[in-house]
Structure 1
Amino acid sequence: MKKTIILFTLFVGMFSYAQLKNVDYTDDNQKLEGFVATPKAPHSKKAGVIVIHAWMGIDDHSKESAQDLADLGYYAMVADIYGVGNKPESTAEAGKLAGYYKSNPLEYQKRIQLAINELVKAGANEEEIAVIGYCFGGTGAIEAARGNLKVKGVVSFHGGLGKDANRETTPISAKVLVLHGADDPYVPTVEVSKFQDEMRTAKADWQMNYYANAVHAFTHKDAGSDNSKGAAYNQLAAERSWQAMKDFFVELF
């Protein structure tokens, strides 16, 4: 009897998990391929969330996040920032691609906006949109706020926080949540300090959570567990940050 119950629970779980659907769209001549997860029980406001991948391109982690968000009732879409045929095959290639978009924020913001357009087509309310991202994608989430895209809030998971000193700081209307590894060697203290000053100058509604014993990529299970490498998975930080995001969304929507 016990075995039957377990099997039934697994069977139900398989079919309750949101399914991803490929979405083809374009940026001029560049083909893009994102993934949309539609909630079976949508949020009352049909809120939607864009998920931006880390520097190696769309991966299982970003897809699972979209599915988890859909299971929470949100329309979710993994945005394709790099475009079809441009997925990096090495960290060196990833560094070049990520560096290009960090150095060309308007191009980054444009790719995010194109994904938002597709999410709205999929059923999300254009007035109730948020953007989240991991590492490189966390930087993108903040760029959505800096660019004043039509989003209510953004969440950066262990993302880069810096911007070119020559860029003007303008008012930010979206609420900002930064989820940061307290020991992240890739985001130095000076970068954090300048980001916080930027948020104050922009009159933003911002929050920043630090997670003890966490370095870069702390939500990525495939990052290993060796903090000395600078990037490593931390289960407690991953769980706490996801809960912080959920609480933020309750307030946001």
Structure 2
Amino acid sequence: MKLVLLLISFLVSPALLAALHEENVEYRAGDTVMKGYLAWDDAKGAKQPGVLVVHEWWGLNDYARQRARMLAELGYTALAVDMYGDGRHSEHGKDAAAFMNAVTAKAGLAQQRFEAARELLVGRPNVDAAKIAAIGYCFGGATVLNMARQGLDLAAVVSFHGNLVTETPAQPGKVKARVLVLNGAADSFVSPESIDAFKREMTGAGANYRFVDYPGVIHGFTNPDADRLGKANGLAVAYDAEADRKSWAAMRELFDEVFKP
């Protein structure tokens, strides 16, 4: 009987009952209401590193949420960031371009919205405010690189198939974050010239960075919906399972280095 009771106690222990938590959150950036998505697993620790997930140009959709959940399963509290306001997203290229251009056309707006999300994340009681990173895809990849260029207090940023071009290049000593760029070598949206310029910029700024090319891989390689979306919108994007796996592993390796003792 004692053995049975012990087994029952073990099976219903709080650690085993704990599950992935999901929460839709509203916050403000200036006068705009932002609608983000939080994911965490309290079985992974009382104080966790936080990771901001910045969406592709499609907006805050299920794909960005899935990446946040994947991070939560690894022991991070992840916030899928709303960069467009009111949770806007679309599967139509014209709409997505309009959403993105509305943010990028106004100086400082992207940073304001990113920092509002960061403030929300570091304020969570289960987040270690000294351990914050950011990852981004496509538009989001460019966004997190620009936040690193501006010297935001981030432990690491990871860009997946993100644009490398910027009007505000990093200045010497400015970049605090470890920088990881994961790029498709056949990406028609990222020119060889922009890659060379990015490497010169990071070297000149004294940044701790790593650039990884995946041969034969094109834009959007991490998103399983890329083929469908590309066909519907006439875009040169495609999913690549191997590059997806390798790029996620590279991100995990970096986070292990910057977050674990």
Q: For this structure pair, what is the TM-score category when the shorter chain's length is used for normalisation?
A: 0.7 to 0.9
2:170 matched residue in structure 1: 169
1:72 matched residue in structure 2: 74
Distance 1:130 1:19 in 2: 20
Distance 2:255 2:79 in 1: 16
Task: Give the residue type in structure 2 aligned to 1:169.
Answer: A
Q: CA-to-partner distance for each residue in 1:34-82, whole Å, 9 max, x for gaps? A: 0001223335862110000000101111101100101100010001100
2:242 matched residue in structure 1: 236
Distance 2:71 2:249 in 1: 12
Task: Give the residue type in structure 1 aligned to 2:190.
Answer: V
Asked whether the 8 Å contact 1:135–1:160 carries over to 2, the reply is yes
Q: CA-to-partner distance for each residue in 1:117-158, whole Å, 9 max, x for gaps? A: 111222311110000000000011101201211111100000
Q: Structure 1 stretches (4+) deviating beyond 4 angstroms?
A: 225-229
Give structure 2 stretches of 5+ with no counterpart: 1-16
Asked whether the 8 Å contact 1:18–1:68 carries over to 2, the reply is no
Distance 1:139 1:23 in 2: 24
**RMSD value, Cα:** 2.2
Greater CA deviation, 138-147 or 33-42? 33-42
Asked whether the 8 Å contact 1:36–1:75 carries over to 2, the reply is yes
Q: Equivalent residue of 1:128, what SS?
A: strand
Distance 1:98 1:89 in 2: 13
Q: Equivalent residue of 2:242, what SS?
A: helix
2:255 matched residue in structure 1: 249
Answer with 1 or 2: which has the greater Rg: 2
Counterparts of 1:80-159 in structure 2 under 5 Å? Answer: 80-84=82-86, 86-88=88-90, 90-104=92-106, 106-122=108-124, 123-159=126-162
2:196 matched residue in structure 1: 193
> Once the two structures are aligned, what percentage of the paired residues are identical?
34
TM-score, normalised by the number of residues in structure 1:
0.87
Task: Give the residue type in structure 1 aligned to 2:71.
Answer: L
Asked whether the 8 Å contact 1:17–1:67 carries over to 2, the reply is no
The change in CA–CA distance for 1:83 and 1:209 in structure 2 (over 3 A counts) is: same
Greater CA deviation, 49-58 or 101-110? 101-110
Distance 1:61 1:88 in 2: 12
Greater CA deviation, 208-217 or 241-250? 208-217
Asked whether the 8 Å contact 1:184–1:214 carries over to 2, the reply is yes
1:4 matched residue in structure 2: none
2:187 matched residue in structure 1: 184
Number of residue pairs matched by the alignment: 237
Q: CA-to-partner distance for each residue in 1:167-224, whole Å, 9 max, x for gaps? A: 3532211110000001000011111111111111111000011112210000010111
